[in-house]
Amino acid sequence: MTHAIRLSTLALASCLLAVPALAQSVNLYTTREPALLNPVLDAFTKDTGIKVNAVFLKDGLQERVAAEGANSPADVMLMVDVGQINALVDAGITQPIKSALVDKTVPAALRGPADNWVTLTQRARIVVVSKERVKQDAITYEDLADPKWKGKVCIRSGQHPYNNAFFAAYLARNGAEKTENFLKGLKANLARKPGGGDRDVARDILSGQCDIAVMNTYYIGLMSEAKNEQKSWYEAIKPLKSTFANGGTHVNVSAAAIAKNAPNKDSAVKLIEYMLGEKAQTLYADGNFEFPVNADVKESAAVKLLGTITPDTTPLGDVAKNRKAAADLVDKVGFDN
């Protein structure tokens, strides 16, 4: 080798050594809003040096990953409903999450079949009542069908995903016959045709159209901070401690899964583990008044506003499996008619 070639080789090696190593990255596909997730993702990158490439999709996430097949860049998929996250498993586009930290932090009932997904935050579906006209502080979901509430219940469509998951949980716990009777009793108690949104039922309690309603807890938090008429809706209602008889509070979830063909699996696990840590749980849960899944987080915004909840122990995988049957029962009794 000539002197000139040797110098050229040394110069090339020097240049290569001067090039920084490629940063680690993880690709996230999610149906959540950017404003809710970005603070957590930014903190993750700052604390770990792993860049997050986030793809925000309103819908079609499952179809996109399936269509991308073995070449999909997706590492983590983050959804906001147990039915949606479980559908990823049924579609064969997930893999088990193998993590001692996940197993330690998240109860088995809040993880998917064969650990193919894991809950990150919880959204409780509870009963609220008129602060002026109803004096009790606790209720079982079964009591919503009690004739004493005839003409006093407001609720959104029985086929809405929030109620579908609630009714599916009821079905998983009580079987088809009892669930059908519950739906008939609840329908008989309605003050108006099911419809509108969860905040609308608070409005209708204020107006006196109904005395009792079902809603997701995070809407209560959002109304509490409202600068418009929704603040008066919040002030008109009282959340009740709501549980199944001999059970806990029904929760739906935001949950994460690792894609079957994840190219950055190690980073995917690190992102999920990070989102279960106390710092991220506070950022993420407080962003939408959701309940942390990490029991060490004691002072979240939802807990401060609504108190602690004890999630029902019915496995959410069982809830997901019963969603179609629950929807069929809603149609059978003509709930939305």
Q: What is the pLDDT of residues 140-196, one digit of tens each?
A: 999 999 999 999 999 999 999 999 999 999 999 999 999 999 999 999 999 999 999
- Residue 101, domain member (yes or no): yes
Residue 216: band (very low, low, confident or very high) from pLDDT cuts 50, 70, 90: very high
If we measure between CA atoms, which residue out of 21, 30, 77 comes closest to residue 56? 30
Q: In angstroms, rounded to a whole number, what is the distance separating the alpha carbons of residues 250 and 314? A: 9
Amino acid identity, residue 104? K
Statement to judge: residues 243 and 158 lie in one domain: yes
- Residue 149, domain member (yes or no): yes
Overall number of domains in the chain: 2
Statement to judge: residues 99 and 174 lie in one domain: no
Compute CA distances 322 → 70, 171, 179, 199, whole Å: 30, 7, 11, 26
**Taking CA 46 as the corner, what is the angle to CA 40 and CA 51, rounded to the nearest 5 degrees?**
80
Q: What is the per-residue pLDDT for 21?
A: 38
pLDDT in tens, 271-330: 999 999 999 999 888 888 999 999 898 878 898 999 888 999 999 889 999 999 999 999
Q: In angstroms, rounded to a whole number, what is the distance separating the alpha carbons of residues 174 and 236? A: 33
Statement to judge: residues 301 and 208 lie in one domain: no
Q: In angstroms, rounded to a whole number, what is the distance separating the alpha carbons of residues 325 and 337? A: 18
Task: Characterize 161-176 residue by residue with b for buried, 16 or more Cβ atoms within 10 angstroms of its Cβ, and e for exposed.
Answer: bbbbbbbbbbbbbbee
Query: Which residue has tokens 């409780």?
Result: 124
Q: What is the per-residue pLDDT for 308?
A: 87
Q: In angstroms, rounded to a whole number, what is the distance separating the alpha carbons of residues 242 and 300? A: 19
If we measure between CA atoms, which residue out of 237, 242, 152 comes closest to residue 203? 237
Statement to judge: residues 142 and 47 lie in one domain: no
- Residue 312, domain member (yes or no): no
What is the overall mean pLDDT for the chain?
Answer: 91
Statement to judge: residues 144 and 263 lie in one domain: no
The token pair that represents 274 in the structure block: 């990070």
Q: What is the per-residue pLDDT for 327?
A: 97
The token pair that represents 40 in the structure block: 């957590």
If we measure between CA atoms, which residue out of 283, 141, 281 comes closest to residue 215? 141
The token pair that represents 93 in the structure block: 């586009």
Structural domain boundaries enclosing 58: 21-122+252-306
Statement to judge: residues 262 and 118 lie in one domain: yes
Statement to judge: residues 145 and 283 lie in one domain: no
Which is more confidently placed, 89 or 11?
Answer: 89
- Residue 302, domain member (yes or no): yes
Statement to judge: residues 160 and 234 lie in one domain: yes
pLDDT in tens, 104-150: 999 998 999 899 999 999 999 999 999 999 999 999 999 999 999 99
Query: Which residue has tokens 């209708």?
Result: 204
User: At 140, which CATH number?
Assistant: 3.40.190.10
- Residue 176, domain member (yes or no): yes
The token pair that represents 141 in the structure block: 């979901």
Q: What is the per-residue pLDDT for 20?
A: 36
pLDDT in tens, 80-102: 888 899 999 999 999 999 999 99
| Section 66-77 average pLDDT | 97
- Residue 139, domain member (yes or no): yes
Q: In angstroms, rounded to a whole number, what is the distance separating the alpha carbons of residues 244 and 173? A: 9
Statement to judge: residues 135 and 228 lie in one domain: yes
Q: In angstroms, rounded to a whole number, what is the distance separating the alpha carbons of residues 245 and 144? A: 12
Statement to judge: residues 327 and 197 lie in one domain: yes
Statement to judge: residues 43 and 105 lie in one domain: yes
Statement to judge: residues 184 and 257 lie in one domain: no
pLDDT in tens, 16-66: 333 333 469 999 999 999 988 999 999 999 999 999 999 999 889 999 999
If we measure between CA atoms, which residue out of 85, 105, 154 comes closest to residue 297? 105
Instruction: Answer whether residue 15 shows pLDDT above 50.
Output: no
Q: What is the per-residue pLDDT for 298?
A: 82
Q: What is the per-residue pLDDT for 303?
A: 87
